[in-house]
Amino acid sequence: MAVTFSDLHTESGLKALDDFLSGKSYISGDNLTKDDVKVYGAVLVKPSDSLTNASKWYASVSSALASSFPGKAAGVRIGGKGAPAEAAPAATAEDDDDLDLFGDETEEEKKAADERAAKKETTKKKESGKSSVLLDVKPWDDETDMKKLEEAVRSIEMPGLLWGASKLVAVGYGIKKLQIMMTIVDDLVSVDTLVEEQLTVPPRDEFIQSCDIVAFNKI
């Protein structure tokens, strides 16, 4: 049963509601229905105590909504949108079939909620910083195959790591070291961990004696 009231923001409109509720607990009888919720949403100001029926009804609906929707007694969920009492339109017969106050959340509502949450999370999430690192990679001796040493270094692949240009630099006594650039995503790559757990352990330690950070610059 669709119940329609108008001008519920005026004293005369509330008086009409009060008259209608004479001898009734709720709009459609003795039980709370969606008709009560729709009319409740259209009432902008709590009926005065002089309007006994309307005031009592308003308090009953407020209490029922507070129990069903903790923290949302001032409004209900309609069509996936918050419907606060302050801004709710007057109920009409046409939208009676569209109201599903106590029904489960629809797939559209869930999708919209997920999209809002994802957008909020993306907005909050800051872009991770990057750094440019110049690394010295030293061989064991002058007999170390430097080509294989560099291949061993570049064979390390992980998210947030990008190897760059390299060159061989003479150290002395016929020994050369590999100087290589790399770009890292700070939150994903630790240079110390890269050296200790990747570059200077088997099988790469067959070629690499030690590594030193020559330069470390934020990009």
Using CB atoms within 10 Å of the CB of residue 180, give its burial: 0 to 12 exposed, 13 to 18 middle, 19+ buried.
Answer: buried
Q: Which of 4-18, 64-78, 164-178 has the highest mean pLDDT?
A: 164-178
- The predicted-structure confidence for 66-99, as pLDDT tens digits, reads as follows 776 554 444 443 333 344 444 444 444 444 444 4
Residue 29's region, left for phi above 0, alpha for psi from -120 to 50, else beta, is: left
Chain mean pLDDT for the chain: 79
pTM listed for this prediction:
0.43
Q: How far is CA 81 from CA 75, 105, 175, 191, in A?
A: 10, 11, 72, 49
The secondary structure of 77-117 as a DSSP string is: EETTEEEETTTPPPP-STTGGG--TTSPPPHHHHHHHHHHH
CA separation for the pair 177, 142 (Å, rounded): 10
Residue given tokens 């006994």 in the structure block: 52
- Per-residue pLDDT averaged across 2-12, rounded? 69
User: Pick the residue with more confidence: 183 or 53?
Assistant: 183
Is pLDDT at 8 greater than 80 in this prediction? no
Which domains, ranges and CATH numbers included, belong to the chain?
A: 11-120 (1.20.1050), 130-218 (3.30.70.60)
Is pLDDT at 102 greater than 70 in this prediction? no
In one-letter notation, the amino acid at residue 71 is: G
